[in-house]
């Protein structure tokens, strides 16, 4: 060691692998909350107040306290490892904004379908979308207060999912449980993606 200086070699910065993950599900299921819970940057949100004009097409039964709606997307970022960064894109939940999904889905490694057991049928459209396009996905049940509890296998049967499709319980407000959901979807996507297209394993 030279006086006043270290002889340690400078380590080159690691170039992280950037992966795109979609967060989908029905209206009012907690997609914006999930993205905001884990994003290490200020999330980009495209929310507008619910209006009388949208009342005939926006079904708020079960989520009567909701006063805003996503009209384009939510966007956030989380670093899972120094060489692995996830970019999160929350999709709009209403049918009238589904024309945006094809653009958002381009280049996505996988998707999280967020579900609410009080309105489980609301996630059928998202599940069908990803199944038809061959995009690996998992279902994360957002455990709302007051909602009935069902084990993952019961939910998998109710949604008629393939046995290999992960189903987990989470709290979209809690950073740690959301992070576990994202790790699970990356692992699932990589297990179902051809080896030449896969990114480094999460561990």
Q: How many structural domains comprise the chain?
A: 1
pLDDT given at position 116: 96
Domain of residue 53, residue span: 17-195
pLDDT tens-digit map of 158-174: 999 999 999 999 999 99
Backbone angles phi, psi at 72, to 5 degrees: -140, -70
Q: Is the pLDDT at 143 greater than 50, yes or no? A: yes
| 141 three-state secondary structure | strand
Residue 139 falls inside a structural domain? yes
Residue 25 falls inside a structural domain? yes
pTM: 0.78
* pLDDT band for position 1 (cuts 50, 70, 90): very low
CA distances from 116 to 13, 44, 61, 134 (A): 41, 24, 12, 23
Residue 55 falls inside a structural domain? yes
102: CB partners within 8 A, 6+ apart: none
* pLDDT band for position 197 (cuts 50, 70, 90): low
Measured in whole angstroms, the distance separating CA 119 from the mean position of its chain's CA atoms is 18
* pLDDT band for position 45 (cuts 50, 70, 90): low
Q: Is the pLDDT at 66 greater than 50, yes or no? A: no
pLDDT given at position 179: 96
Backbone angles phi, psi at 34, to 5 degrees: -60, -50
CB contact at 8 A, 69 and 58: yes
CB contact at 8 A, 85 and 15: no
* pLDDT band for position 19 (cuts 50, 70, 90): very high
| CATH number for position 158 | 3.40.50.300
pLDDT given at position 95: 65
* pLDDT band for position 73 (cuts 50, 70, 90): confident
Residue 11 falls inside a structural domain? no
Question: What residues does 167 pair with on adjacent strands?
Answer: 139
Highest averaged pLDDT of the listed ranges 5-19, 90-104, 113-127? 113-127
Residue 188 falls inside a structural domain? yes
Q: Is the pLDDT at 148 greater than 60, yes or no? A: yes
CA distances from 182 to 12, 71, 136, 139, 172 (A): 28, 23, 13, 11, 11
Residue 2 falls inside a structural domain? no
Share the mean pLDDT of the chain. 82
Looking at residues 27-39, what average pLDDT do you find? Answer: 93
- Percent of the chain topping pLDDT 70: 72
pLDDT given at position 27: 86
């Amino acid at each position: 060691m030279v006086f006043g200086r270290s002889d340690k070699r400078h380590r080159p910065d690691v170039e992280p692998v950037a992966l795109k993950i979609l967060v989908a599900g029905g209206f009012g299921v907690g997609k914006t909350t999930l993205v905001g819970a884990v994003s290490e940057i200020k999330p980009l949100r495209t929310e507008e107040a619910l209006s009388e004009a949208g009342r005939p097409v926006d079904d708020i039964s079960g989520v009567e306290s909701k006063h805003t709606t996503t009209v384009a997307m939510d966007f956030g970022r989380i670093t899972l490892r120094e060489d692995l960064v996830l970019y999160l894109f929350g999709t709009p939940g209403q049918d009238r904004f589904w024309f945006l999904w094809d653009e958002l889905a381009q280049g996505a490694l996988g998707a999280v379908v967020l579900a609410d057991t009080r309105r489980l049928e609301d996630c059928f459209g998202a599940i069908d979308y990803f199944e038809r396009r061959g995009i690996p996905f998992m279902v994360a049940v957002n455990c709302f207060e007051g909602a009935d509890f069902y084990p993952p296998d019961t939910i998998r049967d109710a949604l008629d999912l393939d046995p290999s499709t992960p189903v987990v319980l989470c709290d979209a407000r809690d950073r740690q449980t959301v992070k576990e959901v994202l790790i699970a979807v990356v692992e699932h996507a990589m297990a179902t993606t051809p080896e030449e297209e896969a990114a480094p394993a999460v561990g």
